[in-house]
Structure 1
């Protein structure tokens, strides 16, 4: 890694845009903002806002790598790389012991197996269906008239999670509406929603045979109920780091430091 140089990673997701800066091999700043309807504008804004926050001149940034579904919209990046690779590198950078990643974002979910050097050994991805993603939880929260960030805490008080049989988000929403009409406890419905989502995501983890220690990334990692449901489903402890949403951007910044200039 080149010393005394600053490298940036930008991750444009469907819901949020993230940026990270690395200097001398150390993380010096991260930022998360809503992506909005324009990924081009989001990429420019999250980068410029982070530079302003860290008081760094754009000219001092040596290289930039973009990732996420909107990575090709970041025209000022030196290179675009897949989020699978970036998540692996980011997790290894933050904790070299990590061997597995469960990433649950707004529109997709992934399970990634890593080797001892942080290289991706295997992965599975669900990007065709909203079930088990942040969007799934968002739809359910709306049906229950609960704030999305309240789901995790509310589900903790459930002793009898409701059974949601539908995999499809649309049908699962209909089930939830019927449960509300049947006056089932809101906490039990939420716990059932987490178990349903965990079953979908857990199948990805099982498919790639994730080994401990496993870390969860993505915005859904902030949902304690979802983490608990996944732990129960897989029978392993799941770690949540300090930068679950920023992990991909951090990995992109590390990869930027490896680019030959």
Structure 2
């Protein structure tokens, strides 16, 4: 999805937008630009920063920045604490970012396999004939069940086998969400997390059971908020405000 955030000089969010990217990131960016022109009063003073995989598809951007920089800046703006262990579960990758006083100390990305990402959840939800939100709600009613593979292709095969054995969908959904948490935990071995809670950003922040399983996997409190799904866009907007 393409996410857009507009902030005012006081860094308050005045407009936010989320839409499917579709087949053309360039067309989506142009549609967003037209919506901004029609719906947001900028007095011609607006500055644009693009980030994410589609940042090269935003020709009107004044600057392009990496996801890590923008997600770190956005998380710091949202959660307003000096030390942050950020877990961002996006559609195409999962990021762990350690932030101290607004600066990135270290990070790790899972960008070569969709396991542990929002895309993994979508694939598993399709296999179970539910929406991602429906899968997470269903998982809350499930019993402990495990998916051993950390590869999306093999995990989907495991889910198919569980279905064939008559395993309740709720149990399979439980296994899917837990598998995401375990994948993130494995990835966390690449960074030295600071003490304290995890801060969840990205599209899965709306699902309480994801937070619960992450908390169990890490043995830590997991904090989030609705606008955390826009963390990268918020960070880009904060950077744009300084141009």
TM category, shorter = over 0.9
Cα separation, 2, equivalents of 1:95 and 1:171: 37
Give the match's secondary structure for 2:134: helix
Is 1:34 the counterpart of 2:20 in the alignment?
yes
- The aligned residue for residue 214 of structure 2 is 230
- The aligned residue for residue 230 of structure 2 is 246
Give the match's secondary structure for 2:18: strand
Following superposition, which runs of at least 4 residues in structure 1 exceed 4 angstroms of deviation? none
Is 1:161 the counterpart of 2:144 in the alignment?
yes
CA shift digits 1:64-115 (9 cap, x unpaired)? 1100001011110011000101001011112221511100111110000000
CA contact (8 A) 1:215 1:241 kept: no
Q: Can you give the 5+ residue segments of structure 1 that lack an aligned partner in the other structure? A: 1-15
Farther-moved stretch of structure 1 (230-239 vs 89-98) = 89-98
- The aligned residue for residue 147 of structure 1 is 131
CA contact (8 A) 2:87 2:97 kept: yes
1:58: Cα distance to partner?
6.7
Instruction: Return the match for 1:126 from 106, 110, 123.
Output: 110
Q: Can you give the 5+ residue segments of structure 2 that lack an aligned partner in the other structure? A: none
Provide closer, same or farther for how the CA distance between residues 178 and 90 of structure 1 changes in structure 2, counting only shifts above 3 A.
same
1:21: Cα distance to partner?
0.9
1:37: Cα distance to partner?
0.8
1:57: Cα distance to partner?
4.2
1:51: Cα distance to partner?
4.7
Question: Residues 1-261 of structure 1 correspond to what in structure 2 (within 5 A)?
Answer: 16-25=1-10, 26-53=12-39, 55-57=40-42, 59-61=44-46, 63-97=47-81, 99-116=84-101, 118-158=102-142, 160-211=143-194, 212-259=196-243
Equivalent pairs counted in the alignment come to: 240
1:45: Cα distance to partner?
1.9
Cα separation, 1, equivalents of 2:14 and 2:107: 29
Provide closer, same or farther for how the CA distance between residues 22 and 57 of structure 1 changes in structure 2, counting only shifts above 3 A.
closer
Give the match's secondary structure for 1:253: helix
Provide closer, same or farther for how the CA distance between residues 155 and 51 of structure 1 changes in structure 2, counting only shifts above 3 A.
farther
Farther-moved stretch of structure 1 (104-113 vs 239-248) = 239-248
Cα separation, 2, equivalents of 1:194 and 1:245: 18
CA contact (8 A) 1:19 1:47 kept: no
TM-score normalised to structure 1 length: 0.87
CA shift digits 1:179-227 (9 cap, x unpaired)? 0111111111111111111111122234323232321111122222222
Cα separation, 1, equivalents of 2:36 and 2:228: 17
TM-score normalised to structure 2 length: 0.93
CA contact (8 A) 1:151 1:223 kept: no
Give the match's secondary structure for 1:251: helix
CA shift digits 1:26-68 (9 cap, x unpaired)? 2222111111111111122234324534x3147231x111000
CA contact (8 A) 2:108 2:190 kept: yes
